[in-house]
Copies of this chain bind each other. A is one copy, B any other.
Amino acid sequence: MPSGRKGSVPRGANLLKAAQELGVELESICGGRQTCGKCQVIVEEGHFPKHGLTSRPDHLSAPTAREIEYSQENRLQGRRLACAAEVLGDVLISVPEESQARKQVIAKAASERTIEIEPAVRLVYVEMQPPDMSDARGDWERLQVALEEQWDLKGLSLDSSALTALQSNLRQGNFAVTAAVWQNREVLRLQPGYREGLYGLAVDIGSTTVVAHLCDLRTGAVLATEAAMNPQVRYGEDLMSRVSYANSEPQGLSRLNRGVIRTLNELAEKATAAAGLLPTDILDAVVVGNPVMHHIFLGLHPRELGGAPFTPAVSSALDLKASDLGLSFHPAARLHTLPLIAGHVGADNVAVLLAEAPDEQDEVMLIVDVGTNAEIVLGNRQRLLAASSPTGPAFEGAQITHGQRAAPGAIERVRIDPLSLEPRLKVIGYDEWIRPGASLPHEARATGICGSGIIEAVAELFLAGIILPDGLFNPAAAERSPRVRYQGRTGEYVLADESLTATGLPVVITQNDIRAIQLAKAALYAGSKLLMNHWGAQQVDRVILAGAFGSFISPYHAMVLGLIPDCDLNKVVAVGNAAGDGARFALLNRNLRQKAARLARWVEHVSTPLESSFQDEFVAALGLPHSRDPYPTLAPFLPQPSADGRTGRRNRIREKHQLV
């Protein structure tokens, strides 16, 4: 149980072997030496576990001295070690979840996805014969034999750092070692005696933000998540200015590359410290990013990605040594980069596919991973389309007057009362809604506004009638509230006055901020729309809103803003950093790396900026929520436009045409 398998095994076979013969894989690191305790089972029938280990069992052999010792140290509580208990008659055995070899973990709460833990690196414990004069073989050759005999691992190679430490590790462990084996092909690390720790890092290199998840490769648990600004931002906020920088400066590529490598090292340092580990405990890593980030990370010049035909240097997945890239993980640590779909649709997009698995759905899914460069995926198991759209960094808080990263002090949620035009706020690091005039502890004072806060703020301004469908401030609102004020000819809204901020200056949303958000959301929407046109979808069944920026986006506000097309609001889900999740999945399960390679070849890519209709769709998407496409779902919520307002909006949008 719970597999329900049954069968006969030779009398005296232990339960570990018996389970294997019946096709049930039990966890085991020590290979049946009653050391690791991973193969614990519950005997349901044919034995008297209730009476304790020392009672005379009926159909299982009595516990060995080693099992009793292990049991006392670790409180087995009636369980048996499968490797110690020999079958003497009919028994019914339950395998608790933690003893199953291929554990499933809930890897993604929002979409309730579970994945099997089957990392590229695994631990095996071996015991060897000590050397003697009759045996001329080296330590490594004897270890190879032990690995083959005890784990059926054949033809392994040995990383040079493991080779250097081989002799001392074997002797320190009295010729018993725990080997970390990569892809059943190479021994990366040896540790004396029996060990358990096995860790990896999943990294999403965004144009603006770099996120790293430190994972326990045996349990699948995320031990720590750290994020940092991409230091390349100082050389340009969007991808094209980074490409230009690499093109124009002789040391440009090297500077961009060193910056992101340093950032990864710092993230690894922080994440491992948070988990009580060291960066050198990291044995495997998966890195994703858009094609420009991917190339710069690998030290490849992004020049060719800057223009047609957008040819990447390499599009397939790579298996590298982390140290070759300058990463200070374990000297033998491996690093896997997911494949690109095309020169403008990157490994981050592939990671989004892994995380959300639209290829396994019947529903037509639209996945929008919002960042400085947004990834868009549309389709289902029949057909998948992918594109990227240069949104700009507005959604990450850049180019916004009081924008900031999602960090303590950032306004992340906004509500505006349509009658009083007064706001309510939520600030990261403080649980309560904040109203004007509140008396606040220091940590509740706002320092700025992050991506999700801006989306909500602009949507709420529109819902409250403070800004019009064309994004301009409504002069009538200025007459109703002192929060709406004009600096010369352009309006602004005071979101948090001095008393609510840490700086002592108000946090405002300006006309320029709103325009930046309009441009960004129009680029996103136009990209989605082009994919829908390509796919032949009039509407989508489900929308996944993903993005690394701070806490989750509010689906309702994203739709009010017109960032996504109309859809049943119950079918719009915000999932956080999907690209980072995909990197994590590929870290935890090596089969998903192969799936990623298949997906990268199968998915069709659409080059949105080269599509002739992109410009038209972009302009039409500038309005709130949209100048042309209907949003029946939102009808009850939107302010009633006056006939005059409509006309005025159209005229003004035409004027904005000049801006594009």
Q: A132 contacts the other chain (Cβ, under 8 Å)?
A: yes
Chain B residues within 8 Å of A313, by CB: 138-140, 163, 166-167
Q: A301 contacts the other chain (Cβ, under 8 Å)?
A: yes
Against B, the Cβ 8 Å flags (1 = close, 0 = not) of A150-186 are 0000000010100110111000000000000000000
In the complex this chain forms, how many copies of it are found? Answer: 2
CB of A167 within 8 A of CB of B136, answer: no
Alpha-carbon separation in the docked complex, A605 to B342 (Å): 58
Alpha-carbon separation in the docked complex, A139 to B300 (Å): 12
Alpha-carbon separation in the docked complex, A140 to B164 (Å): 33
Q: A132: nearest residue on chain B (CB-CB)?
A: B309
Q: A193 contacts the other chain (Cβ, under 8 Å)?
A: no
Alpha-carbon separation in the docked complex, A5 to B298 (Å): 51
Question: Smallest distance from the beta carbon of A159 to chain B beta carbons, Å?
Answer: 10
Q: A342: nearest residue on chain B (CB-CB)?
A: B136
Q: A168: nearest residue on chain B (CB-CB)?
A: B301
Against B, the Cβ 8 Å flags (1 = close, 0 = not) of A337-367 are 0001111010000000000000000000000
Alpha-carbon separation in the docked complex, A158 to B137 (Å): 33
Q: A537 contacts the other chain (Cβ, under 8 Å)?
A: no
CB of A141 within 8 A of CB of B309, answer: no
Q: A133 contacts the other chain (Cβ, under 8 Å)?
A: yes
Q: A112 contacts the other chain (Cβ, under 8 Å)?
A: no
Against B, the Cβ 8 Å flags (1 = close, 0 = not) of A316-333 are 100010001000000000
Alpha-carbon separation in the docked complex, A313 to B23 (Å): 38
CB of B132 within 8 A of CB of A300, answer: no
Alpha-carbon separation in the docked complex, A49 to B312 (Å): 49
Contact of A314 among B131, B135, B138, B320 (CB under 8 A): B138
CB of A311 within 8 A of CB of B605, answer: no
Contact of A138 among B141, B158, B316, B610 (CB under 8 A): B316
- 6 new A-B contacts, CB < 8 A, other than A133-B610, A136-B341, are A132-B309, A133-B309, A136-B342, A136-B345, A160-B324, A163-B298
CB of A136 within 8 A of CB of B314, answer: no
Chain B residues within 8 Å of A259, by CB: none
Q: A308 contacts the other chain (Cβ, under 8 Å)?
A: yes
Q: A299 contacts the other chain (Cβ, under 8 Å)?
A: yes
CB of A138 within 8 A of CB of B168, answer: no
CB of B316 within 8 A of CB of A160, answer: no
Chain B residues within 8 Å of A137, by CB: 315
Q: A304 contacts the other chain (Cβ, under 8 Å)?
A: yes
Question: Smallest distance from the beta carbon of A349 to chain B beta carbons, Å?
Answer: 12
Alpha-carbon separation in the docked complex, A167 to B315 (Å): 13
CB of B343 within 8 A of CB of A300, answer: no
CB of A309 within 8 A of CB of B167, answer: no
Question: Smallest distance from the beta carbon of A282 to chain B beta carbons, Å?
Answer: 19
Q: A159: nearest residue on chain B (CB-CB)?
A: B324
CB of A136 within 8 A of CB of B320, answer: no
Quick one: given A300-B164, A304-B167, are A311 and B341 in contact (CB under 8 Å)? no
CB of A141 within 8 A of CB of B324, answer: no
Q: A303 contacts the other chain (Cβ, under 8 Å)?
A: yes
Q: A135: nearest residue on chain B (CB-CB)?
A: B309
Against B, the Cβ 8 Å flags (1 = close, 0 = not) of A570-598 are 00000000000000000000000000000
Chain B residues within 8 Å of A164, by CB: 298-300
Question: Smallest distance from the beta carbon of A403 to chain B beta carbons, Å?
Answer: 34
Chain B residues within 8 Å of A343, by CB: 136, 138
Chain B residues within 8 Å of A139, by CB: 304, 311-314
Alpha-carbon separation in the docked complex, A158 to B314 (Å): 10
Alpha-carbon separation in the docked complex, A138 to B601 (Å): 12
Q: A298: nearest residue on chain B (CB-CB)?
A: B163
Chain B residues within 8 Å of A315, by CB: 136-138, 140-141
Looking at A164, A167, A320, which has the most chain B CB atoms within 10 Å of its CB?
A167
Alpha-carbon separation in the docked complex, A301 to B163 (Å): 10
CB of A167 within 8 A of CB of B301, answer: yes
Contact of A340 among B138, B160, B298 (CB under 8 A): B138
CB of A167 within 8 A of CB of B300, answer: yes
Chain B residues within 8 Å of A298, by CB: 160, 163-164
Chain B residues within 8 Å of A140, by CB: 313-316
